[in-house]
Amino acid sequence: MVRRVVIVGGGTAGWMTATYLQATLRDKVSITLVESDRVPTVGVGEATFSTIRGFFQTVGLAEQDWMPACNATYKLAIRFENWREPGHHFYHPFERLRVADGFTLAEWWQRYGGGERFDQECFLISALCDAKRSPRFLDGRLFEDAVPDGEEGPATLSEQVTQFPYAYHFDAALLAGHLMRLGTGRGVTRVVDDVLATRLDERGWISHVVTREHGDLHGDLFIDCTGFRGMLINQALGEPFVSYARELPNDRAVALRVPSDVEREGIRPYTTATAMDAGWIWTIPLYGRLGMGYVYASDHASPEEAERTLRDFAGPAARDLEANHIRMRIGRNRNSWVGNCVAIGLSSGFVEPLESTGIFFIQHGIEQLVKHFPAGGHDDGLRRDYNRLIARCMDGVREFLFFHYYGAARADTPYWKAAKTRDLPDGFAERLASFERRLPDTENIWPHYHGFEPYSWTSMLLGLGGLTPAPRPVLDLLEPAGARREFAELRRRAEWLAAELPSQYEYFTARH
């Protein structure tokens, strides 16, 4: 029987796992988390998917309970700057495409649209981002009444039938601390200690971990949240790691925590990904500071060059700030569940943070663990199913991110030229050929769950500019009046909301 769960490692992954398991399994299992106060966490996972809302629902945290404590802000989209050419930008929003007469507005835009900014004509949220609006009115109402709101309702990823229009930016270290206090208050046992060794039984499964001051910690199920080290899954159990370096060569990052005057500068409601000579720079606006980091390929820039580029980009506010250099392990374990050990977070796998998937992977891994939890004893079939779902999800994200580089029009440096000549992931050539004839849909994108819907693929295909898909021929035979009415209504609604919604600074100052 699986009754004792031991989580090794804290941080966002460890405490998200602990609080979620406690909230779902309650007193059916005991949960112990052991973390060292001498091992730093990566701590740059500050932007999320909109589906993270389901995690907070499950653990019982409303926005007012955790956002002020974590300097959190709203995220409506990712703004991609300079991926097509210098000065060009477009948004990838949390918004499904509207449909007119059976075809999406993006398809109608291909045939009848004007200009280069398809996202301005096809998405409502682009206007809110340009105007730096909050997605909520000062009284707390969501800007789109058609989107289910409130803290009740479906919470898991598999239950999401609507696209919630925003995610969050937050300080990952503050969130981990907030969840730690929540978890320990609800019965999670926290052990602050160093894990010195992992002991295996005669089956090759984990029997216990040995700590410096608290002796042996025994469990029935062990969860590895030790980050890129993979202390249990890789070091103790020897599970092989499947590298994504062939498709995604960015293997380093350097990060800064830059102070921000939110009253004077405002708070942008989006993450920015700015293409640079050897990678890209993220800008994540929190309440009171900006998280900034340069993700790059070590084959094309040294750590010193990357830090200098980031400081120049950040400007005078970055002077004298300490830079955090990170070596990223890009890829996934062959299996994330081996024997009685499940890897969650960076120890399971990681792709560069271009689409804010780090915390999404944590949430997906935890939810699938609960769905496959071996209540009556360990089950090989449950373990195989879990591993297949986790691998498919990560492989799908790998392909989506590869598409960002392959599909970008930018080709002005050796780094960007190389992005167009890499070997395609298996099966991707067929999908690319399909994109030439029609925009992405449920039938021609990565066929397994990976967190991204066809509208996301369409946003990148039309925004990046490196590929030129043809409009559907049948649109020449159809009357566009319905589509034109939909475009006009979208523009009308966007202009009204951009004028009526408060800014993020106004909203958070009034509410918190």
Contact 326, 346 (CB under 8 A): no
Q: How far is CA 66 from CA 18, 71, 332, in A?
A: 17, 9, 31
With residue 210 as reference, give the H or E element that holds it: strand 206-211
Give the phi and the psi of residue 207 in degrees, each rounded to 5. Answer: -90, -50
Token output for 303: 């750590």
Q: Which of 75, 132, 371, 420 is catalytic?
A: 75
What span, in angstroms and rounded, lies between the C-alpha atoms of 282 and 169?
Answer: 12
- Per DSSP, the residues of 50-82 read TTHHHHHHHHT--HHHHTGGGT-EEE-EEEEES
**Residues 6 or more apart whose Cβ sits within 8 Å of residue 477:** none
Which amino acid appears at position 343 of this protein?
A: A
Task: Decide if 75 is catalytic.
Answer: yes
What span, in angstroms and rounded, lies between the C-alpha atoms of 11 and 14?
Answer: 5
Closest C-alpha to 316, from 255, 254, 253, 260: 260
Q: Which runs of consecutive H residues, i.e. helices, occur in 60-171?
A: 63-66, 105-112, 118-122, 125-130
Give the count of beta carbons closer than 10 Å to the beta carbon of residue 370: 14
Positions annotated as catalytic residues are 75
